[in-house]
Chain A
Amino acid sequence: MIEISHLTKKFDQFAAIDDLSFNVAEGEVLGFLGPNGAGKSTTMKVITGFLSPSAGSVTVDGYDITRNAIEAKALIGYLPEGAPSYGDMTTLEFLNFIAEIRGYRGDEVNTRVQHVIEEVELQSVAQQTIETLSKGFKRRVGLAQAIMHDPKVLILDEPTDGLDPNQKHHVRELIKNLAKDKIVIISTHILEEVTAVCTRAIIIDEGKIVADGTPAELGAQSQYHHAVSVRLNEEYDLTSDLVGVSGIGNVVAEEEENSFTILASNGAPIFTKVTEIAQSNHWPVAEFHVNRGQLEDVFRTVTAQSRGDE
């Protein structure tokens, strides 16, 4: 269990994190979202004990990150932003170093290193110096070092940044497999990733939490939640058929020709109503489907609100 309470981090006068409080329990995969400069990386740096907080506290399984730093850090595996590693070492040498620092000795070092090498598929580059590796492999080396000691808490700062779609898929599968009985915190600005791997998402902006919930819950806040998308074969004015029907909100014309999105005004499903109207009015329907809430939409709304843009 990670407990973050009233965490504040100030750089000079600027508060990068502003009175942040939340807990993460075992088994949760927390997606940490926010626009660039929202304080995602700073939060991770404080949680992992790299930066010390200006106020508030972080405890990992009861160990305070500033007062019991060594014990707390021993529970955490961390992939910093950009997956830094010692470029002049080979993958194997680097991982051996990490294994030793993580307290493994003798044969254990080898066993552990071989295990993580298999886990993130680094066999082919084990003998290469890290600086000669591609971005994808470097990131995997970073992941390998983070999971070396089978940590209770895994903190990954943009783990899939710069990977190709196959590698992204692979890393996500890896995270899902690792997640059992663990705490995983991932920062990302790829929203599909949150839907794919996270059981919970927190959106922060200007150092404050602006949304917190499961990806589905957050999606439900979207104005597109339960909205019905319609594409017509020919021009037809469906707005007039829908005027005054309860539960139906605005009709948005999409970029594509003869495509419309009918929004639900009070968050209740409108699919049945719209189908009935469509049938009785003989709409020339080509395509018809219900939207789930879009995280992207929610993301934009909540981060814009907190900046007072709207």
Chain B
Amino acid sequence: MQNLGIIFRRELFGYFATPLAYIFIVIFLITNGIFTFDLGGFYLRGQADLLPFFSFHPWLYLFMVPAIAMTLWADERKTGTIELLLTLPIKLSEAVLGKFLAAWVLTGIALALTFPIWMTVNYLGDPDNGVIFAAYIGSWFMAGGFLAIGSCMSACTKNSVIAFILTVAICFTFVIMGSPILLNAFPEWVPQFIVDAFSALGFLTHFDSISKGVLDIRDFLYFAVFIAAWLLASAIVIEMKKAN
């Protein structure tokens, strides 16, 4: 487990050694602001909550998170450092997890830096801070889900642009799975339980309830299992594709 920490620190440090982390955070904050205030009508709603802020997160993550995730393994492969890393006395799981956690913490930092909006809403009204806190955690878990997909896609290729496109495509699928647009498109004859199962796999179903303050452990569990499954897939892909 000590190795996990060492790899985690190296990766996180790597983000801040280059402009990547700063650019990511700044763009994240700006887009968040535009989404919340312009498109979300934060003031017009006249309600002291952060619903317009959180409801755009899936769409924001759709492009921001794959951008961090794309280099996770693709760059290691491209520069050959994967050979260095995986011949050190560490477990593959430590490398996969360490890298994932570093990227996840980066998104966490970006998310935490949106705190002025939380202060604003507290200044303007009297929101339910418990709900807001839960929504933050939910949003962070969802970012983790996007990242885990990205980790796996990045492991599939040497080319980080391909990794980016694949990640966006798969994330998009999971986002819209729970959206009414897609669910209404099912023809009448499809049994309801299939539609429900389909919807249960989507991000929106789980994130919506969390962000509205409905705290169900199953929604968090969904993201936790989702992350674990994609990380496991990453490890398998890395193991399989080491040779090329």
Residues of A participating in the B interface, judged by any CB pair closer than 8 Å: 11, 45, 48-51, 70-71, 73-74, 76, 78, 80-82, 84-89, 93, 97-98, 100-103, 145
Residues of B participating in the A interface, judged by any CB pair closer than 8 Å: 3, 6-7, 10, 13-14, 17-18, 79-81, 83-84, 86-91, 242-243
CB distance from A83 to the nearest CB of B (A): 9
Q: List 22 A-B contacts (CB under 8 A).
A: A45-B83, A48-B87, A50-B86, A50-B87, A50-B242, A51-B242, A73-B89, A74-B89, A78-B84, A78-B87, A80-B80, A80-B83, A84-B83, A86-B81, A87-B79, A88-B14, A89-B17, A97-B10, A98-B88, A101-B3, A102-B89, A103-B89
Residues of B contacting A85 in the complex (Cβ-Cβ under 8 angstroms): 81, 84
A49 to B14, CA, bound (A): 26
Residues of A contacting B7 in the complex (Cβ-Cβ under 8 angstroms): 101
CB distance from A39 to the nearest CB of B (A): 13
A86 to B85, CA, bound (A): 10
**CB distance A76 to B87 under 8 Å?**
yes
| A50-B87, A88-B14 known, 12 other contacts, Cβ within 8 Å | A73-B88, A74-B89, A76-B87, A80-B84, A82-B80, A84-B81, A89-B17, A97-B10, A101-B3, A101-B90, A102-B89, A103-B89
Contacts A84-B81, A97-B6 given; does A51 touch B243 at CB 8 Å: yes
A98 to B88, CA, bound (A): 9
**CB distance B6 to A145 under 8 Å?**
no
Contacts A86-B14, A88-B18 given; does A101 touch B88 at CB 8 Å: yes
A98 to B85, CA, bound (A): 9
* Option from A80, A81, A100 in Cβ contact (under 8 Å) with B87: A80
Residues of A contacting B14 in the complex (Cβ-Cβ under 8 angstroms): 86, 88-89
A87 to B90, CA, bound (A): 21
CB distance from B220 to the nearest CB of A (A): 33
**CB distance B79 to A81 under 8 Å?**
no
Residues of B contacting A80 in the complex (Cβ-Cβ under 8 angstroms): 80, 83-84, 87
A85 to B75, CA, bound (A): 11
Residues of A contacting B10 in the complex (Cβ-Cβ under 8 angstroms): 86, 89, 97
Residues of B contacting A50 in the complex (Cβ-Cβ under 8 angstroms): 83, 86-87, 242
Across the interface, name the chain B residue whose C-beta is closest to A87: B79
A76 to B86, CA, bound (A): 12
**CB distance A101 to B80 under 8 Å?**
no
A73 to B95, CA, bound (A): 15
A129 to B3, CA, bound (A): 23
A98 to B3, CA, bound (A): 11
User: B17, B80, B83, B86 — which one has the most chain A CB atoms within 10 A of its CB?
Assistant: B83
CB distance from B87 to the nearest CB of A (A): 4
**CB distance A100 to B6 under 8 Å?**
yes
A11 to B244, CA, bound (A): 9
A93 to B88, CA, bound (A): 17
Residues of A contacting B84 in the complex (Cβ-Cβ under 8 angstroms): 78, 80, 84-85, 145
Residues of A contacting B6 in the complex (Cβ-Cβ under 8 angstroms): 97, 100-101
A164 to B81, CA, bound (A): 24
Residues of A contacting B13 in the complex (Cβ-Cβ under 8 angstroms): 89, 93
A243 to B215, CA, bound (A): 101
Residues of B contacting A86 in the complex (Cβ-Cβ under 8 angstroms): 10, 14, 81
Residues of A contacting B86 in the complex (Cβ-Cβ under 8 angstroms): 49-50
A245 to B129, CA, bound (A): 105
A74 to B89, CA, bound (A): 5
A88 to B91, CA, bound (A): 24
Residues of B contacting A82 in the complex (Cβ-Cβ under 8 angstroms): 80
Across the interface, name the chain B residue whose C-beta is closest to A49: B87
CB distance from A186 to the nearest CB of B (A): 16
Residues of B contacting A73 in the complex (Cβ-Cβ under 8 angstroms): 87-89
A86 to B11, CA, bound (A): 10
**CB distance A84 to B3 under 8 Å?**
no
A70 to B92, CA, bound (A): 10
A78 to B84, CA, bound (A): 8
Across the interface, name the chain B residue whose C-beta is closest to A79: B84
Across the interface, name the chain B residue whose C-beta is closest to A101: B88
A50 to B244, CA, bound (A): 12
Residues of A contacting B89 in the complex (Cβ-Cβ under 8 angstroms): 70-71, 73-74, 101-103
A100 to B13, CA, bound (A): 15
Across the interface, name the chain A residue whose C-beta is closest to B81: A84
Residues of B contacting A76 in the complex (Cβ-Cβ under 8 angstroms): 87
User: B79, B84, B86, B91 — which one has the most chain A CB atoms within 10 A of its CB?
Assistant: B84
CB distance from B88 to the nearest CB of A (A): 5
User: B3, B6, B87 — which one has the most chain A CB atoms within 10 A of its CB?
Assistant: B87
Residues of B contacting A87 in the complex (Cβ-Cβ under 8 angstroms): 79
Enumerate the 9 nearest inter-chain pairs by beta-carbon distance, A residue then B residue, closest first: A84-B80, A74-B89, A73-B89, A80-B83, A48-B87, A84-B81, A100-B6, A70-B89, A78-B87
